[in-house]
Amino acid sequence: MADEIKRKPIIIGNWKMYKTVGEALELVGALQKALPRLGDIDVGVAPPFTALGAVARQLEGSALLLAAQNCHFEAAGAFTGEIAPPMLKDVGCSHVILGHSERRQFFGDTDELVNKKARAAFAHGLVPVICVGELLAEREAGQTFLVVERQLRAAFAGIDATAARRAVLAYEPVWAIGTGRTATDAQAQEVHAFLRQLVGELYDGSTAAALRIQYGGSVKAENAAGLMAQPDVDGALVGGASLKPEAFLGILEYRRTS
Ligand code: 13P
């Protein structure tokens, strides 16, 4: 049964193209202070590349997870402007966000590219946080399941079950990102359940039961508890509300309002 395993919640702040090194250290410092009172939950931050090194040094010995927002699929090479997975590992990252809709929309990240990056991430000891999600027009055309199925199947191609169960999947409906318009609890649950079932078909029930699926798109303190209470919602990938300690802590303390 898919829900017999208790999945540890995982909430990651995706800082996108925000925060200088100084600002990053200030934000992380505030989170570190609050971490001990948050209970059994994985918390991570995904600063821009330029702040990863400094944040990693500040996080030494801390349980806070460090994620990058993207990577290249080669281990090294003549790829001006790109960052390789071993470099992320070297700087102290444990996770890397891949296939975010902003990468897909503005930087040409295709399903195939996301898959190459995901395989490279695993090969170099990083856990990918793989994002899927439909555009508003796709939802309105009734294609939500079709789109996320295509994205998920492509992203996991050639990845074995042992690796897949360690991955984090993030369902981020594009119409809910940065718009203030969140998916309802039921809309999120419906897609999460679909994704988990699909992982079960691609691999097996135990992999589906172990894989954590985050919801992303205008998550804030006010809606976090409702979303997190859904049986197949195991966490959140937070954009705007992760940039201020009070706002992010309001989400991390979702159990207080549930
Ligand atoms: P917002 O929380 O700002 O809607 O962004 C969500 C997101 O894209 C996280 O990756």
pLDDT per residue as tens digits for the range 159-201: 999 999 999 999 999 999 989 888 999 999 999 999 999 999 9
Ligand 1 binding pocket includes 238 (Cβ within 6 Å):
yes
Q: Specify if 223 maps to a domain.
A: yes
Q: Specify if 4 maps to a domain.
A: no
C-alpha distances in Å from residue 163, one per residue of 109, 159, 160, 168, 178 = 22, 6, 6, 10, 31
User: What residue numbers bound the domain in which 24 lies?
Assistant: 10-256
Q: Specify if 2 maps to a domain.
A: no
Residue 240 CA: nearest ligand 1 atom is: 3
Ligand 1 binding pocket includes 219 (Cβ within 6 Å):
yes
Ligand 1 binding pocket includes 239 (Cβ within 6 Å):
yes
Q: Specify if 3 maps to a domain.
A: no
**Token pair listed for 249:** 């802590």
Q: Specify if 245 maps to a domain.
A: yes
Q: What is the count of structural domains for the chain?
A: 1
Residue 191 Cα to ligand 1 midpoint, Å, equals 17
66 sits in which H/E element = strand 65-68
We report the CATH number of the domain holding residue 140 as: 3.20.20.70
Please say if the pLDDT value at position 256 is more than 90: no
Query: How much is the average pLDDT of 48-59?
Result: 98
Cα separation of 25 and 23, whole Å?
5
Query: How much is the average pLDDT of 86-91?
Result: 98
Residues labelled catalytic: 100, 172
Residue 176 Cα to ligand 1 midpoint, Å, equals 8
Q: Specify if 136 maps to a domain.
A: yes
Residue 240 Cα to ligand 1 midpoint, Å, equals 6
**Token pair listed for 23:** 């600002």
Q: Specify if 1 maps to a domain.
A: no
Residue 97 CA: nearest ligand 1 atom is: 10
